[in-house]
A and B are shown apart, each in its own frame.
Chain A
Amino acid sequence: MSLDPVVGFFVLGMVAGLLRSDLKLSGGLSDTLSVYLLIAIGLKGGIELSNASVGSLVMPIFVAVLMSVGTPLVAYPVLRRFGKLARPDAASIAAHYGSVSVVTFAVAASYLARQGVEYEGFMSVFLVFLEFPALIIGVLLAKGIHRDTRWRMLAHEVLAGKAIVLLVGALLIGWVWGAEATQSLSTFYGDLFKGLLSLFLLGMGILTASRFDDLRRAGPFLVGFGILLPIVSAAGGVLTGWWLGLSLGGTTLLAVLYASASYIAAPAAMRIAIPEANPALSIGASLGVTFPFNVLVGVPLYHEMALFMYRGSV
């Protein structure tokens, strides 16, 4: 079985949700687990960063962010023209797909580790920089540069949001103290990581199952969109990673980041900035279709796509 066992817990959660089991995880647990996952991912990246030269990362990050803008700019006209969606809905969905999912990234990193594929440890720095540009583009697509937009509140929500604060904070801690000094934390943030990720995925499975109803309302277009757009974005990620000279594993992770859709940061930001957009459509697509697709099929597929690219270029 090439899929990671943590994915099994996601499926278990979905099955429990579909069976209407009384299995419920509390909101407090989801908060705790997401804090843990963000710190663990940030810390790992920071420790790796302490062995790399930070200056050499500026260019790759700049290019990766620039290319990531492609996802919402492709998604928006497709949603408008073929999906016949209203402007705020199309813009909000485009923002969700342009932003990233930390848990999809974590699942992909576990997958690569299980396959024995090395990747650049500083990939979590990319996470930080790929999360928010698409949210701003989404708002611009919906409203243009409009005076009414709650820009200040949006900026605060995005930049001072839990995800960015914890990722950046843990990155800095890992970077400042380095591998040796943070050794005492490695049992908690390293060895326990997959166990706690499996709990989070169990909760995600239950949540995904509860979103299937939204999908029925959203219709087949969004289901197709939620599968095809990530594959196109992943292809863009593979090309970008290859062009930047990342390793096979790093390119796979970049493809996963491009393919993943946000379901925590983006919904919160879009409720503030584009309240006219129907959240059931965007969350239904990103959580009901794209997250399960990426976790179950996408991650191995994007790895194969990267392998194809790297074999072809040798």
Chain B
Amino acid sequence: MSLNRTKLVVLICEEALEAIVAPDLLAAGAKGYTVCEARGRGSRGVQDGRWLLSANVRLEILCQEEVAQRIVELIVTKYSDNYGLVVYMSDVETSRSNKF
């Protein structure tokens, strides 16, 4: 099976940001994303998401390099001042990379 190099962008942020950021991701060229709930500790304290408040989400986007650059730049300039978030990217190998 042939694998192709693709970029994986990971955004961990407060739950409220998901609905706001999703249209931006698609506009930047992402063809899709995966979301799951996340919890942990960071500079804004513990986010354990157990009761009503403080839930975090983890968004993963597989995309081509230029899209990944665009997404990271957009998230950092537009949202990092006002929302708690962590964003990073890495190289991954995917099958059927034309999907991304």
Contacts and interface: CB of A to CB of B under 8 A. Distances in A.
Interface of A: 24-27, 30, 34, 150, 153, 203, 206-207, 213, 263-264, 267-268, 271-272, 275-276, 283
B88 interface: no
A307 B17 CA distance: 46
B1 interface: no
A26 B50 contact: yes
B52 A30 contact: yes
B16 A153 contact: no
Given A27-B52, A267-B53, A275-B83, 17 more contacts: A24-B50, A25-B51, A26-B50, A26-B51, A30-B52, A34-B52, A150-B20, A206-B51, A207-B53, A213-B45, A263-B52, A264-B52, A271-B14, A272-B16, A272-B20, A276-B82, A283-B53
Contact of B51 (A27, A150, A213, A271): A27
Contacts of B16: 268, 271-272
B52 A207 contact: yes
B52 to A, nearest CB: 5
Interface in B41-100: 45, 49-53, 55, 79, 81-83
Contacts of A268: 16
B36 interface: no
A26 B53 CA distance: 11
B56 to A, nearest CB: 12
Nearest to B14: A271
B19 interface: yes
Contacts of B17: 271
Contacts of B79: 275
B54 to A, nearest CB: 8
Contacts of B83: 271, 275
A162 to B, nearest CB: 12
A84 B55 CA distance: 30
Contacts of A267: 53
A25 B14 contact: no
Contacts of A206: 51
B21 to A, nearest CB: 11
A20 to B, nearest CB: 12
A30 B82 CA distance: 27
B17 to A, nearest CB: 8
B52 A153 contact: no
Nearest to A206: B51
A207 B20 contact: no
A275 B82 contact: yes
Nearest to A213: B45
A70 B89 CA distance: 48
A207 B83 CA distance: 21
Contacts of B51: 24-27, 30, 203, 206-207
